[in-house]
Structure 1
Amino acid sequence: MSASARPGLLGDRDFGRLFAATALGQFGDRVVFLALPLVAVAALDADEFHVGLLAAMTTAGSFLVGLPAGAWVDRLRKRTVMVAADLARALVLATVPVAWWADLLTIWWLCAIALIHGTLTVFFDVAYVSYLPHLVGRDKVVEGNARLSAVRSVTSISGPAAAGPLTALVGAPATLVAGAAGMALSGLLAATIHAHEHTPRPGRHPGLRRETKEGLKFVLRHPVLRAITLGDAVFNVSLAVYQAMLLVFLKREIGLQPSGIGLLFSGMGLGALLGALLASTASKRVGQGTVIWLASLVTCPLTALMPLARPGWSVYVAAVGLAALSLGGVVRVVAQTSFQQALTPDRLLGRTNATIRFISWGGMPLGGLLGGTLGSVLGAAATLWIGAAGMSVSVLLTLPSPLRTRSAVPTRGEVTRQQSVT
């Protein structure tokens, strides 16, 4: 890793390439986030249950391969996994517009694509989070996470802002071409990173089951990681319930067109950008641990503004609540990720990240199905109320933990002591 006196990590050539690859990949991801469910809602005219099923398939990969993914990633070079996953995701997404133009696209095809894409995303995300400490060193992970969160936030604005009008112009299936292109370019750029990364020797691994179990035990026995993970699990299930009906509510009950929906999601991206810019300051002023639960406590209840909205100006007032959720989410994730990376020994990075993702995201397919079912029975607005309530109470699982008083990310000395215990 090279040192530079230029503006922080952005002066490092390899981090700069990761930064640019992140921008391209996240732009593609934000396009897909908006366009994929719009294919179901607008192009295929799917009902509430099938929209919920699609949302479930999008996150089902976390449940199916979430735990073993960490052990597999720990056996490979993280950068190689990232590049392969990016290119494979691009190829899979490209089949949707091809099937649409050939008049072969169905909701079941779309669900299969969502499942494959989501499974590949699990491997990408586990490798991505595990790669940063190798690239920049543990002493710079907070800066690295903040900068990468900032670029992700910018693309959260530009992605939907581009996807909304593009969907209105060429249709949701064709818009996925832009998402696939972003991910392909991201993978090709990440392949040019030259920083050396150690590859574990095959003979040193005691077995997939044992390695997976070790990562699970490490997370569940650590009071801080356990609190973060369980709180996120409740939050993400509730978020999946909420998101499953959000587009249905906006499209069918509010009457927003794709360009208006894109604008609303860009507002969420603006909230995420403000969160990235404020993350370091907020952590310093209120404490790195405190900000994790305080950010959710302040912003999650504002999501209840959306089911109160009606056609007209009130929907844009409700959009402020979604922007606040994104702001608080980024502040929380930057602090959490820095804690997670600092507390984890190098040899357990992949497994710890995969275990946390498995527990945190494993219930999201159930949340998507629950959201679709509740939407069919109670309606989209009532489902949004239930999701908002669940997100708001998720913080209660974090409050009893040491995060309530912990002010800073652990030092390298604390990590070394943790490694000796582990």
Structure 2
Amino acid sequence: MSAITQFRTAAHELIDFIDASPSPWHAVASAEVLLRAHGFTRLEEGDRWQLAANGRYYVVRGGASTIAFVLGSQPMAEAGLRIVGAHTDSPGLRLKPKAAMSGDGISRLAVEVYGGPILATFTDRDLSLAGRVVLRTATGQETRLLRFAQPLVRLPNLAIHMNREVNEQGLKLNKQTELPLILGLMCEGDNAEAQLRKLLADAVQADAADLLSWELSVYDVQKGCLWGANQEFIADSQLDNLASTHAALSALIATKQPAATCVAAFFDHEEVGSESATGAGGSFVIDVLHRISLQAGLDEEDRRRAIARSFFISADMAHAYNPNFPGAYEPGHKVVVNGGPVIKTNVNQRYTTNAETAARFMTLCEKAGVPYQQYSHRSDLGCGSTIGPMIAAQLGVASVDVGSPMWAMHSARESAGVHDHAYMIAALSAAFGS
């Protein structure tokens, strides 16, 4: 298989993963399909764990976060752990618990802004709903995934004739009054709440009266694709950060009998601060690592020795240089699409990278035969952050922040490089094998 074919195969696998994962709950379900297909066994947090030597396992918390791991052949206190972290959520719009609105003969759905999306990019697109609903059953309650494959809702733009300055001042949307999504026309006697409940109930094959609650994301139904003169770019939703999630999954799945125990952790709620039971700011990764160490027979002294010999990679997408906006970038750090993984540095610890961990990741890239780049944000612009700083602080582990370069981060439709996805898989595979 040629290098170009390998690059495109990895890119198409990423597109398929994203298109099957329109919500964080679907992303974990998609990850579970891949993990099970490659010999991983699911563990439950409420059960006692019995881990076999060289075993391959995963555990899910809250439906939207999962941690998978492969036990190493060497003692954990001597070899340490190789950990990659990413997140399953993406910025966008979420339905409010009582979302149905009616007036002027139109039913609409009230939404809340989740994280920091570019709101204007959600206008005039084929949008739908995906997430999970909780049903009343004879034995208690049951959670089911829900996805409307067809366009269901829309956020129409205001015509330029009523907004003459839109091209000069940009589209500005009031989050309370101008974001409700159009669902359908209302006839006399119709009830918007009943209409919504029936749609949801029919989608999960249940009675509307049994619907208790739901968490639903708004997503763009347009599928991902390759684009460019040589099909060298990827376009899709949620590249931030399902591209990193898929890269880490692919690398872990391909890891066979590693010396060090390898862990891939995927968290919800990164886009809103990670402070939740399923977020990186919670106890999930600490709980899982502690239980692994207990199964390995480590006492507290050896557990600390293991952490001291471990390496954590926070994998989150990076800002690629956009030639249409040259003034937005630090002059010496214009990373390019298809130029390889990006090592992200910020002296204020928005990223965890230091000189030693940057050099370690550079060495891994060299071992994998892939190029690498370095990124620093403009000093007069606020820098985003990742799960890296909080995981590094919680564990006390050597850490680096990296990501694949992309354009239009937090847009409803983002772009990245075909080569870069394969590069990142190779670099993370090298990390798991180190």
* TM-score when normalising by structure 1: 0.24
- The structure whose residues are more often strand, as a share, is 2
Structure 2 length as normaliser, TM-score?
Answer: 0.24
User: In proportion to residue count, which structure has more helix?
Assistant: 1
Higher RCO, 1 or 2 (CA under 8 Å, sep at least 6)? 1
